Amino acid sequence: MDKISDYILKAGTIDRRWIFLIIGLAVLLPLFFPLGLPIRATNATQKVYDAVEALEENSKVLVSFEYGPSTKPEIHPMAIGLLRHLFTNGHKVFVTCLWPDGQFMADEALDEVAKEEFDLTYGEDYVILGFRPGNEAVVKGMVSNIRKLYTTDARGTLVDNIPLMKNINKVADFDFIFSASAGYPGTVEWVQYASDPTGVPLSTGTTSIMVNDIMPMVNSGQVKGILAGMPGAAEYEALIGTPGIGTSGMDAQSIAHLVIVLFIIFGNITYFIETQRSKKY
């Protein structure tokens, strides 16, 4: 028994580079050899799907991009999934960005979905208003008067000359808001300054780490569901029936989480043996 304990303790002093290597393999291998684990939608994801489904055809949806390349693997799949869902149901999409790099993400997502998949017309089916500095002040400004804040869209076209912008003057003119958010400014600001005061329903997609902060708002009904990190994106893809990047990343995330849990358990076994020995001697 002592020999086994010795082996375990020796293994417990493993160099952290081995841990890095194992995690790297745990992420990489499932990407090359997918396991096809079943994806089950949580209530929070189902609420987002139901909120979009409840919209009448031709609804005006404001989608805000508040993430950048660092959080792209988590948020971008849900943005793509949501845009697919919105365009499939025949809604009009208006994009705004509270983060400067959000505009790049929006361009990429709309190129992929609106242009390539649905062959939609810019200015008639969707429009990118772009980034404006000012964080929550931008949200507040949009609630009051969009045209004061945005005289031109992201392509330099006068907002007054864009057909889709006809009769759009403030946030209250939209039927639904979706915030694809990776931090501040993001979902919280949209709830505080736009959705709550105007009563326009809002859903969100956030990084896993932000879910804790948003959950109270989901429970109180201020936010109609939440797509929580990459699992949320995968669940949404399953609901709309179009597997994408979120789904393919789920196997890798599952195995990586399992490996981390196994490391934690192993670490605790070594800790237990150490404390038992120190008590003994």
Give the footprint of another protein on this chain (CB under 8 A).
16, 19-20, 22-24, 27, 37-40, 42-43, 68-73, 101, 103-104, 107, 132-135, 137-138, 140-141, 143-145, 148-149, 154-156, 208, 211-213, 215-216, 219, 228-229, 231, 234, 250-251, 253-261, 263-264, 266-268, 271-272
- C-beta closer to another protein: residue 82 or 234: 234
> CA 62 to CA 80: how far, in whole Å?
14
- C-beta closer to another protein: residue 41 or 55: 41
| Angle between the N-to-C axes of helices 245-280 and 2-12, in degrees from 0 to 180, rounded to the nearest 10 | 130
Residues shown for the chain: 281
- C-beta closer to another protein: residue 128 or 202: 128
Nearest to 228 by CA among 74, 19, 70: 74
C-beta of 58: minimal distance to another protein in Å? 28
- C-beta closer to another protein: residue 60 or 140: 140
Phi–psi pair at 42, nearest 5 degrees: -85, 170
Residue 242 burial by Cβ neighbours in a 10 Å radius (0-12, 13-18, 19+):
middle
C-beta of 199: minimal distance to another protein in Å? 16
C-beta of 126: minimal distance to another protein in Å? 15
Distances from the Cα of 52 to the Cα of 30, 133, 193, angstroms: 32, 29, 21
C-beta of 250: minimal distance to another protein in Å? 5
Distances from the Cα of 17 to the Cα of 6, 21, 205, angstroms: 22, 6, 34
Q: Are 46 and 225 in contact (CB under 8 A)?
A: yes
- C-beta closer to another protein: residue 121 or 208: 208
C-beta of 75: minimal distance to another protein in Å? 12
C-beta of 33: minimal distance to another protein in Å? 15
- C-beta closer to another protein: residue 52 or 250: 250
